[in-house]
Structure 1
Amino acid sequence: MKLSPRMQFLVRNGLKGFLWLTVLLAAYFLFREVVITHKPDAWVERFYARPMIIYLIYCFSEFFFGLIPPELFMIWAINKGDTWHYLFNLSLFAGISYLMGYINFLIGGFFYKNETFTNLKRRLLKDSASQVKKYGIFLIIVAALTPLPWSGVSLLVGSAGYPSKRFLKYALFRLLRFAVYGYIVYQTHQI
């Protein structure tokens, strides 16, 4: 069975995203074993006691290309309180991620309408805009579900003139990612 070019794109980039997830998980478990287990109280006191700092760092990270994987914030939330507290934080993190993706999409849309950027795009990114329009749905879904930089992809899709309603519709896959990854974190970190 031969896959269409769009499905090949989705599968290829989806596999790359899951490979990165595996690398991130390995790095986390290594960090956990080497650093956190030797001085757990120092880490707990420093970060767990200041939730506003955690929320601000998360917002900053989600706006600037997902510098810190959301799973680390999920782990913080599971260790911070009971199941309801974790579900509240998970929902908050998912909503913030969705919102920050949309804000970056709007910024990209501003660049799309900006005459200077349009001229620059014509010279430097001739085929990119047409590729993003062609594969936009798949690009959004792959970035929403995998560790690809969600904010960066949202910015790129917005700068290609992708329709806002379609972006918002397919960006809902981001919430699915948080539900699945949140469940995995919950199952692996239950006491």
Structure 2
Amino acid sequence: MKLSPRIQFLVKNGLKGLAWMAVLLAFYFLFRELVLSHAPDEWIARFYARPGVIYLIYAASEFFFGIIPPELFMIWAINKADALHYLYNLAFFAVVSYLMGYLNFLIGQFLNKNETFNIWKKKVLKDPEKQVRKYGIFLIIVAALTPLPWSAVSLLIGSAGYPSKRYLKYALFRFLRFAVYGYIVYQTHQI
């Protein structure tokens, strides 16, 4: 059975995203064994005493193209308190990620109206509107579910003139990502 190019795109990029998640988990477990296990109290005091700062760093990271993977914040949250507070933090992280993605989408729509940006976009990205029309739904879903830079993809989708309602609908897959990854983090950190 031959798969359509869209499904091939989804599968190929989905597998890449899972590979990146495996790499991130390997780095985390290595870091935990080599660094955290030697001075855990120092790390706990440094990062757990100021949750407001952590939330601000998370929001900024999600706005600036996901510089820090959300899984690291999930790990911070699971080590901070009990399961109920972990769920609250996970919900907060998911909502912030969704909203920051939408904010970047709106910035992309605004930039789409700027002629200088459009000239630059056509030179650098080689007709992104055509690609977004072809792969838009799949690009949103893959970025929502994998470690691809969510905000950057949202910005690109917005700058290509993608409809807001469709973006918001398919961006809901971001919540599924946080549920699945949050469950994995929870299962791997139970004492």
Pairwise same-fold verdict (TM > 0.5): yes
State the partner residue of 1:2: 2
Shift of 1:103: 0.3
Task: Please report how far the alpha carbon of residue 188 of structure 1 lies from its aligned counterpart in structure 2 after TM superposition.
Answer: 1.2
State the Cα distance separating 1:7 from its structure 2 match: 0.4
Query: Does structure 1 residue 11 correspond to structure 2 residue 11?
Result: yes
Cα distance, 1:122 vs. partner? 3.6
Is the Cα contact below 8 Å between 2:101 and 2:154 reproduced in 1? yes
CA RMSD of the aligned region, Å?
1.0
Q: Higher mean Cα deviation, 158-167 or 127-136?
A: 127-136
| CA deviation vs aligned residue, 1:45-98 (integer Å, no higher than 9, x gap) | 000011001001100110111111111111111111111111110000000000
Name 1:37's counterpart in structure 2.
37
- TM-score normalised by structure 2 residue count: 0.97
- Secondary structure at 2:68's aligned position in 1? coil
Letter in 2 for 1:64: F
Q: Match of 2:178?
A: 178
The answer to whether the Cα contact below 8 Å between 2:108 and 2:159 also exists between their aligned partners in 1 is yes
Q: How far, CA to CA, are the matches of 1:117 and 1:150 in structure 2?
A: 20
CA distance in 1 between counterparts of 2:120 and 2:189 reads 48
Matched, 1:57 2:28: no
Q: What is the CA distance between 1:125 and its match in structure 2?
A: 3.3
Question: Offset at 1:19?
Answer: 0.8
The reply on whether 1:98 has 2:105 as its aligned counterpart is: no
Q: Sequence identity of aligned pairs in percent?
A: 76
Q: How does 1:147-186 map to 2 (within 5 A)?
A: 147-186=147-186
Provide structure 1 residue ranges, at least 5 long, that are not aligned to the other structure. none
Q: For residues 72 and 137 of structure 1, what CA distance do their matches in structure 2 show?
A: 27
1:164 deviates by: 0.5
Please give the secondary structure, in 2, of the residue aligned with 1:67.
coil
Q: Secondary structure at the match of 2:112?
A: helix
TM-score (norm 1): 0.97
Partner-residue secondary structure (3-state), 1:65: coil
**1:144 aligns to what?**
144
Identify the residue that residue 68 of structure 1 maps to in structure 2.
68
5+ residue gaps, structure 2: none
Shift, 1:117, TM fit: 1.6
Alpha-carbon distance in 1 for matches of 2:110, 2:14: 28
Q: CA deviation at 1:116?
A: 1.9
Tell me how far apart the structure 1 counterparts of residues 125 and 60 of structure 2 sit (CA, whole Å).
Answer: 28
Match of 2:120 in 1: 120
Partner of 1:85: 85
2:27 maps to what in 1?
A: 27
How much has 1:132 moved relative to structure 2?
1.6
User: Which amino acid is the alignment partner of residue 176 of structure 1?
Assistant: L
User: What amino acid does structure 2 have at the position aligned with 1:39?
Assistant: A
